Amino acid sequence: MPRAIAKSPNAQYNIAAANSLPVRIAAFARRGMYAAFLRCTAIDPAETLLDVGVTSERSYEASNYLEAWYPHKNRITAVGIDDASFLESLYPGVRYVHASGLDLPFADGSFDVVHSSAVLEHVGSAANQLLFLQQLTRVARRAVFVTTPNRWFPIEFHTILPLVHWLPKRTFRALLRDTRYDFFAKEENLNLVGRSELLELCRPIAGWGARVTYQRLLGLPSNLLLTLRRTG
């Protein structure tokens, strides 16, 4: 088995080994996504920030990058289904809450800005993806920023397989089933979207305007960056 490939998915739903080339590339890309988050939300240091989807994975360089890089730790509330309570001691000021992004335990408009990176593709069906976005906008007062891999990038980041994810979704899942990639054959574990699908998911969310930009890798759009801003 190549050293760059782990035996089973980790808490980031990934099989790339720590310090492998794919992981180093991902860390570089996340620097760009973090810069886009600051730019697209124009977040103020005094504003409260919710990060939905923190992970217990600690071997990747850019795991929980928002908690690592955002300087105003005492404004961050971090939410995840993993036990990421270590974030509170690793980054003093951060508050951790164990919860699902499909059922956030906060009142409407509890946070000025909401951030979520690489979670949307792991919440399941299109109906669940819509529910996830609705939960993010429900608890946000002003802006929401979401990243997700672009289905139409030629490499699928979780499996490190080329092109096969461009097939119809049912065919893609059938090909992966009963292989070493069986975990990713299940919709609840991986459901990639393209730009048009992402914008379509946002259409039912009243009172919010949606804009999708790209994070590029080798000139190609590797990740979708969704910014939602309250309009009403």
- 76 exposure class (CB count in 10 Å sphere: 0-12, 13-18, 19+): buried
The pLDDT of residue 13 is 77
The pLDDT of residue 11 is 66
94, 65 Cβ separation under 8 angstroms: no
The pLDDT of residue 46 is 98
Structure tokens at 135: 């939960």
> Which of these, 168, 191, 188, 63, lies nearest to 121 by C-alpha position?
191
Interacting residues of 47 by C-beta distance below 8 A, sequence separation 6+: 75, 112, 113, 142
47 DSSP β-pair partners: none
The pLDDT of residue 18 is 74
> Which of these, 184, 193, 223, lies nearest to 14 by C-alpha position?
184
The pLDDT of residue 180 is 94
The count of other CB atoms within 10 Å of the CB of residue 8 is: 7
The mean pLDDT values, 10 residues at a time, for the chain of 232 residues are 52 73 85 98 98 92 93 98 97 98 98 98 98 98 98 95 98 97 97 98 98 96 98 86
The pLDDT of residue 138 is 98
Q: Where are the beta strands (DSSP E) in 104-149?
A: 111-117, 140-149
Question: For domain 21-230, which architecture applies?
Answer: 3-Layer(aba) Sandwich (3.40)
DSSP 53-69: ---S--SSTTTTHHHHH
The count of other CB atoms within 10 Å of the CB of residue 81 is: 17
Q: What is the 3-state secondary structure (H, E, C) of 148-170?
A: EEECCCCEECCCCEECHHHCCHH
The pLDDT of residue 1 is 31
* Chain centre distance of CA 69: 16
pTM of the model: 0.93
